[in-house]
Amino acid sequence: MPSSTQPEVLDIAIIGSGPGGLSAGIALSKLPNVYVRIFEKASAISDLGGGISINHNGWKVLEYLGARKAVTGASTVPTVQRNAYTGEVVDPGFKHDPNDLYQARRTRRSRLQNALYAEVPKDIVHFNKKLVTLENLEEKGVRLIFADGSQTTADIVVGGDGIRSVVRQHIYPDYKINYVGSVGWRTLVPVSAISHIPDISLTVTNWWRGAGSAIYMSPVDELSNLEHMEVSCRSVNEPEVPGETVSWGKPVGNEKVLSRFQDYYPRMVEVLKQVPEGGWKEFSGYAGPFIENLTGWDKLVLIGDASHPSGGGFGSGSAFAMEDSWILARSIEYSRTISGGLADALRIYNSIRAPYYKKMFEFRETQQLSLQKSGQKSREGFNERLRELMSKDGLGGRRSSEFLEFVYGSDVEKVWKEYLEKENASRSESW
For 367-414, what is each residue's pLDDT tens digit?
776 767 777 878 888 898 888 888 877 776 666 666 778 888 899 999
| Count, residues in the chain | 431
The residues with which 283 forms a beta bridge, in sequence order, are: 184
Overall average pLDDT of the 8-14 stretch: 97
Distance, in Å, from the CA atom of 175 to the CA atom of 165, rounded to the nearest integer, reads: 10
pLDDT, tens only, 314-358: 888 999 999 999 999 999 999 999 888 999 999 999 999 999 999
Distance, in Å, from the CA atom of 181 to the CA atom of 234, rounded to the nearest integer, reads: 11
CA dihedral 16, 217, 71, 319 (to 10 degrees): -50
Residue 4 has pLDDT above 50, yes or no: no
* pLDDT at res. 56: 93
Distance, in Å, from the CA atom of 328 to the CA atom of 348, rounded to the nearest integer, reads: 8
pLDDT, tens only, 352-380: 999 999 999 998 888 776 767 777 878 88
Q: Which amino acid is at 229?
A: M
Residue 222 has pLDDT above 80, yes or no: yes
* pLDDT at res. 82: 95
Distance, in Å, from the CA atom of 322 to the CA atom of 346, rounded to the nearest integer, reads: 16
* pLDDT at res. 367: 77
From residue 314, give the alpha-carbon distance in Å to each of 52, 54, 266, 282, 405: 12, 11, 29, 19, 12
Overall average pLDDT of the 85-106 stretch: 86
Q: Which amino acid is at 191?
A: V
* pLDDT at res. 244: 79
In order of their start, the domains of the chain are: 1-44+127-177+289-366 (3.50.50.60), 50-108+180-287+374-400 (3.30.9.30)
* pLDDT at res. 390: 84
Residue 1 has pLDDT above 70, yes or no: no
Distance, in Å, from the CA atom of 416 to the CA atom of 403, rounded to the nearest integer, reads: 23
Residue 297 has pLDDT above 70, yes or no: yes
Overall average pLDDT of the 117-126 stretch: 96
pLDDT, tens only, 150-202: 999 999 999 999 999 999 999 999 999 999 889 999 999 999 999 999 989 99
Distance, in Å, from the CA atom of 84 to the CA atom of 260, rounded to the nearest integer, reads: 12
End-to-end CA distance of the chain: 11
Contact indicator for 84, 216 with CB cutoff of 8 Å? no
Q: What is the 3-state secondary structure (H, E, C) of 203-253?
A: CCEEEEEECCEEEEEEECCCHHHCCEEEEEEEECCCCCCCCCCCCCCEEEC
Distance, in Å, from the CA atom of 224 to the CA atom of 221, rounded to the nearest integer, reads: 8
Contact indicator for 99, 82 with CB cutoff of 8 Å? no
Instruction: From 127, 120, 100, 148, select the one nearest 20 (Cα to Cα).
Output: 120
From residue 322, give the alpha-carbon distance in Å to each of 6, 21, 27, 352: 28, 8, 9, 14
Distance, in Å, from the CA atom of 132 to the CA atom of 170, rounded to the nearest integer, reads: 10
* pLDDT at res. 3: 44
Sheet containing 89-91: order of strands = 89-91, 79-83, 205-210, 213-219, 228-235, 178-190, 280-287, 250-252
